[in-house]
Amino acid sequence: MIGILLNDNAYEQDIRELLMAFFPGRDFVYEEIPGLELCLVGRVNESRNQFRMQMIFRGDHSTLIWGDSPAEQWELDHFDEPVFVDYDNRTEAKNKIKRRLYAILKELTGKSLPWGSLTGIRPAKIALSCLKEGMGEREIFDFMKTNYFASDEKIRLCVEIAVKERELLGKVKELTLEKPDCWGIEKGYSLYVGIPFCPTTCLYCSFTSYPIEKWQGRLGEYLDALFLELDYVAAKAGKHPSSVYVGGGTPTSLPEQELEKLMKKLTDTFDCGKALEFTVEAGRPDSITREKLQILKKYGVTRISINPQTMNQSTLDRIGRRHKVEEVKEQFLLARELGFDNINMDLIVGLPEEDAKDLKQTMEAVKALAPDSLTIHSLAVKRAARLNTMREDYKDYKIINTQEMIQMTAQYARDMGLEPYYLYRQKNMAGNFENVGYAKPEKACIYNILMMEEQQTVIGCGAGTTTKRVISGENRIERAETVKNVEQYMERVEEMIARKERLFGEELS
């Protein structure tokens, strides 16, 4: 257990996230209590232009070393050298404090982090912003090394992805030039449709997802509520989204009748055929049938995902996925037979009890199938996942993720002719690494880039979705959340629509 004692909480989250990166899986408290293995004490002065930190740790003693008086009463000369900051300049102060803390933790633990002091979700966004400012690749490299202490490998990855993103975003700009400026959305918008049902809930999953068998009798009611949102968005934002993404959950867990009803509604309501892409996640192989794939093909879906996560049967059984490895292969080949030429596969590195040998087996099996894109996730155990909420039951599981394993996935992807095109990070990621999307030329997922780099408004419909409005010219994002609970969503869908009204600055009609 680690303590964080601050006299001002303005930068508590940034401090805690960096501590989490060095000490994954630890709990944090915000008071002096017996038994702490480590404590960070931080103080900003009255003028708010100096911030000082001190790490106090157990060492070889049986109790924590606090000094002569409680940490709350320490004088400044007990602390490390001050960080001189403009405390109200959020970005500058945050980066200075994190650089100093990173140096302290690196000395204390003897280890470096692949991403240095960066803890944010979107490291490639930094490189993309630098490109827009006219910086060259060498300048960006030096900037990220000096300001964030990131490793050479991660900086090169960021720059490569930023260059690719800039190219793909140009296509979105071309598409939206002729579109009407609906709802004040100057750069167009993308549509996300949430289907919060799955065959089962995986051990690591924290998404809005419910076992579909419990909702079989009410799926029509859910779709009716969803269709109200879709009609509203089409009327207010226009019928021409840049991209359409149907995710979840697992959309193909819907029975064939409901899946066709959804696809018909989308294509009747929006001009999906002129969108840059139309994606439907068919993530769970045990949710796929020939008839469902034919429905997706009939309504013009251009991109699907078939996600094994691993090609090791013992791991699939362990994490609660009911499908067999052979089903992954069968459904992938069926999709190819039916003419799908843009198929993504998701894999997770760091699944319980998997090591480099298991990962290599997965990569060999995936390579043989030759997907058009591949997304490599580093396991992130979120608060709501059973792996966390029932941690006592799973405490003996080993979670392994190393730089060598990440490099292995990158090499396999490149050997398959796939290039990195987007990345993001999450809290509590195994090994403190990242998620990277790789794709063949012309097969990158436009929606992933728009959503992750926050370059375009994304309107989410359905339980557990988020609408993010990009405020042009202000470098600002505003959000409207939709309730996660399916029952509440169906009862309160008019309220969810009203939230979108407020987000876009219009009076309720």
Per-residue pLDDT of the chain (509 residues), as tens digits, is 899 999 899 999 999 999 988 888 788 999 877 778 888 888 888 888 889 888 876 543 333 444 444 444 434 344 567 888 888 888 899 999 999 999 988 988 888 999 999 988 889 999 999 998 999 999 999 999 999 999 999 999 999 999 999 888 887 777 665 555 566 566 789 999 999 998 876 555 555 567 888 888 899 999 999 999 999 999 999 999 999 999 988 999 999 999 999 999 999 999 999 999 999 999 889 999 999 999 999 999 999 999 999 999 998 888 877 789 999 999 999 999 999 999 999 999 988 889 999 999 999 999 999 999 999 998 865 444 444 444 454 455 667 678 899 999 999 999 999 999 999 988 766 667 889 999 999 999 999 998 888 888 999 999 999 999 988 777 789 999 999 999 999 999 999 999 999 998 753 33
Distance of alpha carbon 172 from alpha carbon 455, whole angstroms: 10
Other C-beta atoms closer than 10 Å to the C-beta of 390 total 11
Measured CA to CA, the distance from residue 399 to residue 428 in angstroms comes to 12
Report the mean per-residue pLDDT for the chain.
86
Cβ within 8 Å of residue 169, ≥6 positions away: 449, 450, 453, 455
Number of residues in the chain: 509
Q: For 171-177, which contacts have Cβ atoms below 8 Å and span 24 or more sequence positions?
A: 171/276, 171/446, 172/242, 172/276, 172/446, 172/450, 172/455, 172/456, 175/242, 175/276, 176/242
> CA-to-CA distance for 50 and 316, rounded, in angstroms?
51
Place of tokens 């900003």: 44
478 CB burial (10 A radius; 0-12, 13-18, 19+): middle
Helix (H) and strand (E) counts in the chain = 16, 18
Contacts of 270 (CB under 8 A, 6+ apart): 191, 230, 234, 239, 240, 241, 244
3-state SS, residue 2: strand
Q: DSSP characters for 266-303?
A: HHHHS-GGGSSEEEEE---GGG--HHHHHHHHHTT--E
CB 384 within 8 A of CB 427: no
Contacts of range 506-509, beta carbons closer than 8 Å, 24 or more positions apart: 506/183, 506/236
Helix (H) or strand (E) holding 414: helix 403-415
d(CA 395, CA 388): 9
Please give the Cα distance from 60 to 414 (Å, whole number). 47
> What does the alpha-carbon distance between residue 190 and residue 466 come to, in Å, rounded to a whole number?
12
Q: How far apart, in whole angstroms, are the C-alpha atoms of residue 499 and residue 362?
A: 43
Q: How far apart are the first and last CA of the chain?
A: 52
CB 485 within 8 A of CB 495: no
CA distance 298 to 237: 26
Distance of CA 3 to the CA centre of its chain: 28
